[in-house]
A and B are shown apart, each in its own frame.
Chain A
Amino acid sequence: MNIIYHCFGGSHSSVTAAALHLGLLPRDRLPTMEELIAIPYFDNTDNSDFGSIRFMGLDEYKNAVYVLGKKSLGDRYTNIIHGTAEILGVRHQVLAVNTMPHVNWIMKIGGYISRRIGMVFLGRPLVGVGTRKAFFALVNLVEITRLQTMDRRQVDL
């Protein structure tokens, strides 16, 4: 199965969720700023990455985990992805997860300053604070997603 975490820029909440899914971050404690920065793609995208589905890794069940930046299209993008997979007759192979409901204002402001304005030295620490604040909500989202994928695996078997 292919799991696509998507958020506005595809560089903070979706990347954090994907890293949690892949076990690149601990789930039982808050990560340090260094641990967040070490995640591939974290706060490290530009305008050309919007719309690209980027591979993050394979989880223990060989599910491929991806991240995607979709600007302000919200849950509509989940339907776009699921609908297109449905057309191809492989709806069961894709799970798109919108991480935007867990993004707080600190992440939005930090992300804007770092990615849009380019003042990384100011925006990145803010994003770090915001991500830590949203962290356990993202852990919860990832756990639900993992349960959904396991459920689908059982249906497929």
Chain B
Amino acid sequence: MNIIFISSTGTHQALVAAHIFLGRLHKPDFRYVTGFCDSVYDRSGFPIYIGEDSEGRKIYTLGVGKDVLMGKKTLEDLRNILGFTEKELVIEPVFIPGQSLIAMVTKWPKILGGDHLNVLVATYLLRKHFQTIQKTVEDLQVRLNKMH
């Protein structure tokens, strides 16, 4: 099974959710989260492979722009067209309050301190809403357990 955590970028809340899911992140300390706030890594639009859990599920993150639900709809349609179901690919959107601010600062020019602002704003918001992301992951785990 493959799981893609989607949000406006693949290197902020989706990345934190992926690390929580993999059991690598238990408190809001993002210093050792590889690729955190790396907007260059996220720019191409390809899913980012994060790792594999103990049950062999491959975990990815993906940035789908401002309209996350539109991205979810496209990916679900694509999955169906290709003849797969939720048993092979789960698409999980991750929302936090203020996420549009994160999307905005990732586009801030580097020369005007964009990178610094990106890390500063994202760290503040993701620390503040860490429990919201944890809840999203827990709900997904419950859903996955029911699927078995």
**Is A66's beta carbon under 8 Å from chain B?**
yes
User: How many residues of chain A are within 8 Å of chain B by beta carbon?
Assistant: 29
**Is A77's beta carbon under 8 Å from chain B?**
yes
B45 touches A79 (CB 8 A): yes
Q: Within the assembled complex, what's the spacing in Å between the Cα atoms of A94 and B67?
A: 23
Residues of B near A82 (CB, < 8 A) are: 46
Q: Within the assembled complex, what's the spacing in Å between the Cα atoms of A52 and B72?
A: 10
Residues of A near B69 (CB, < 8 A) are: 51
Size category, B interface: 20 to 34
A85 touches B82 (CB 8 A): yes
Please encode chain B, from 40 to 71, with 1 for each CB lying within 8 Å of some chain A CB and 0 for all others: 00011111000000000010101011110111
Which of B45, B67, B88 sits near A50, CB closer than 8 Å? B67
**Chain A 68-95 residues near chain B, CB threshold 8 A:** 68, 70-73, 75-88, 90, 93-94
Known: A70-B70, A80-B45, A80-B64. A87 touches B78 (CB 8 A): no
CB A48 to nearest CB in B, in angstroms, measures 9
Chain B interface secondary structure, helix, strand, loop or mixed? Answer: mixed
A88 touches B47 (CB 8 A): no
Which of A51, A70, A90 sits near B82, CB closer than 8 Å? A90
Residues of B near A90 (CB, < 8 A) are: 82
Which of B62, B64, B81 sits near A2, CB closer than 8 Å? B81
Residues of B near A30 (CB, < 8 A) are: none
Listed in ascending order, the chain B residues whose CB lies under 8 Å from chain A are 2, 4, 43-47, 58, 60, 62, 64-67, 69-75, 77-79, 81-82, 84, 88-89
Of the A-B pairs whose beta carbons lie under 8 Å apart in the complex, a sample of 13, sorted by A's number, is A2-B81, A53-B74, A70-B74, A71-B65, A73-B64, A73-B65, A77-B74, A80-B75, A82-B46, A83-B62, A84-B75, A88-B79, A88-B84
